[in-house]
């Protein structure tokens, strides 16, 4: 299975790969998201370590059950060969109605078929007031005309 664009990445194809990842994560469909990763993909997400698509699906299912009204924006920070570094922010609320913005960085490494073989994510959560939210599109894909992280000053 091939998942274009393929490495080595240019600025344009790295940005395309980041947007594809953003769109998939904004779907909040763990099975769909897992298909972008190799069957034995290795993750570090915060202090949690995962290996393989089944673990990814279980992790994302648990994540989106707790992080309600999830909306994410990713932006390429750097790229080289088969690696892309992105920064991101996402907004979500817990079941008590408290809002958060989570900020992070991810380092991605892809195989020759364009599947992500390694994902290393560092993330910090910041409580925000509902009135301080910046991500207001309907659940799902971020509209093309919605500001980026840089445009929002994040």
| CATH code for position 78 | 3.10.450.50
Buried b (16+ CB within 10 A) or exposed e, 42-71: bbebeeeebebbebbbebbeebbeebeebb
Report pLDDT digits (tens) over 70-93: 999 999 999 999 999 999 999 999
The residue range of the domain holding 82 is: 11-132
Report pLDDT digits (tens) over 41-55: 999 999 999 999 999
Is the Cα torsion angle 136, 107, 14, 149 positive or negative in sign?
A: positive
Q: Which two tokens stand for residue 73?
A: 């924006």
Give a yes or no: residue 81 inside a domain. Answer: yes
- Which helix (H) or strand (E) segment holds residue 80: the answer is strand 68-80
Q: Which two tokens stand for residue 31?
A: 């099975």
Number of structural domains in the chain:
1
pLDDT beneath 50: ranges in the chain: none
pTM: 0.97
Q: Is 132 strand, coil or helix?
A: helix
Rounded-to-integer distance, Cα 52 and Cα 45, Å: 13
């Amino acid at each position: 299975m091939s998942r274009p664009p393929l490495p080595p990445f240019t600025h344009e194809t790295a940005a395309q790969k980041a947007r594809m990842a953003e769109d998939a994560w904004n779907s909040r469909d763990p099975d769909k998201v897992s298909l972008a990763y190799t069957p034995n993909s290795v993750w570090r997400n915060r202090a949690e370590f995962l290996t393989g698509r089944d673990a990814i699906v279980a992790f994302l299912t648990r994540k989106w059950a707790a992080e309600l009204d999830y909306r994410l924006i990713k932006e390429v920070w750097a790229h080289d060969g088969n690696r892309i570094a992105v920064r991101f922010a996402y907004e979500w609320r817990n079941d008590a109605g408290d809002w958060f913005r989570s900020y992070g960085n991810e380092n991605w490494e892809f195989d020759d078929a364009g599947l992500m073989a390694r994902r290393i994510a560092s993330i910090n959560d910041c409580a925000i007031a509902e009135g301080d939210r910046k991500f207001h599109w309907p659940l799902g894909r971020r509209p093309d005309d919605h500001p980026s992280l840089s445009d929002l000053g994040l």
